[in-house]
């Protein structure tokens, strides 16, 4: 339930249908043959996915009905562009598309003004990112995006940063067993020698981890991926990701 509401944009979120992956693929194949009723069924069966994405923006004063409708646009784009021949779960592909559509909407309604040329470059970069994701089935790097649109890397970085939404101090960055860490918890006094020493110890502890552990922590806490998404990306089970993640965090705690 989002913002304490059961009904969003006329949809009863308490009764949303959830499709199995095999059912999604079957519907996607029907859509490719021109079955529009299958498209409607697939959209309906993934509204809970849209809801889970827009819940990330709770507490920012945005209208949940508007965000839900925008998220549905991202879902429809994902349905229209998904390649069933790729070994990728539909939700893994759809979440970034939905999230991108919502962020684009928030940027367009942002009160901070950005120059037209910078905004145009950023939109070209985002379109290239979506295109490359569809082709390669993974998130492209800034270098790949820059090459695709024939722009300088630093210009692309500047453009994307210029239209990015300001991060709330109350944005959760990690949550486990009911304990949540927010952005504000990570802000400290950089003039404090103790903090400086803690940073050194943390870096040394991370360096001592195995390559797979480092990759899991990077995907989880720096790229914001879920354990399921990490499991799909590196080819292991979600349970293994959870075990390796906890083991890595325990190693870091023991080191510092």
Confirm whether pTM is higher than 0.85: no
- pLDDT top residue among 104 and 16: 104
**What's 168's DSSP letter?**
P
Burial class (CB in 10 A: 0-12, 13-18, 19+), 74: buried
Region 162-179: mean pLDDT is 53
50: pLDDT strictly greater than 50: yes
For residue 14, what pLDDT band results from cuts at 50, 70 and 90?
low
- Quote the pLDDT of residue 4: 45
Dist. CA 68–CA 171, nearest whole Å: 20
Contacts 24+ apart (CB under 8 A), 138-146: 138/233, 139/96, 139/223
Dist. CA 155–CA 55, nearest whole Å: 32
142: pLDDT strictly greater than 70: yes
Query: With left for phi above 0 and alpha for psi between -120 and 50, is residue 9 left, alpha or beta?
Result: left
What contacts 251, CB < 8 A, 6 or more positions away?
A: 205, 208, 209, 213
Most confident of 9-13, 156-160, 201-205: 156-160
User: Lowest-confidence range among 14-18, 76-80, 235-239?
Assistant: 14-18
For residue 95, what pLDDT band results from cuts at 50, 70 and 90?
confident
Summary mean pLDDT of the chain: 76
End-to-end CA gap in the chain: 39
Write the pLDDT tens digit of every residue in 200-214: 566 667 777 888 888
Dist. CA 21–CA 42, nearest whole Å: 11
Contact present, 245 and 220 (Cβ < 8 Å): yes
- Quote the pLDDT of residue 198: 55
2: pLDDT strictly greater than 50: no
């Amino acid at each position: 339930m989002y913002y304490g509401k059961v009904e969003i944009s006329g949809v009863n979120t308490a009764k949303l249908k959830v499709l199995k992956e095999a059912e999604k693929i079957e519907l996607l194949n029907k859509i490719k043959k021109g079955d529009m009723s299958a498209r409607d069924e697939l959209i309906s069966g993934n509204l809970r996915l849209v809801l889970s994405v827009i819940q990330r923006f709770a507490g920012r004063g945005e209208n949940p009905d508007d965000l839900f409708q925008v998220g549905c646009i991202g879902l429809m784009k994902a349905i229209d562009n998904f390649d069933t021949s790729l070994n990728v779960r539909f939700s893994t592909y759809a979440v970034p598309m939905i999230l991108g559509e919502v962020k684009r909407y928030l940027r367009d309604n942002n009160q901070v003004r950005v120059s037209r040329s910078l905004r145009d470059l950023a939109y070209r970069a985002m379109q290239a990112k979506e295109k490359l994701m569809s082709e390669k089935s993974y998130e492209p790097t800034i270098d790949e995006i820059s090459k695709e649109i024939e722009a300088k890397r630093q210009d692309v970085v500047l453009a994307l940063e210029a239209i990015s939404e300001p991060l709330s101090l109350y944005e959760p960055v990690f949550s486990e067993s009911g304990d949540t860490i927010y952005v504000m918890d990570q802000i400290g006094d950089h003039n404090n020698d103790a903090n400086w020493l803690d940073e050194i110890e943390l870096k040394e502890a991370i360096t001592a981890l195995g390559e797979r552990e480092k990759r899991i922590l990077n995907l989880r806490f720096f790229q914001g991926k879920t354990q399921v998404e990490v499991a799909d990306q590196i080819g292991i089970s979600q349970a293994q990701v959870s075990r390796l993640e906890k083991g890595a965090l325990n190693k870091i705690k023991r080191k510092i």
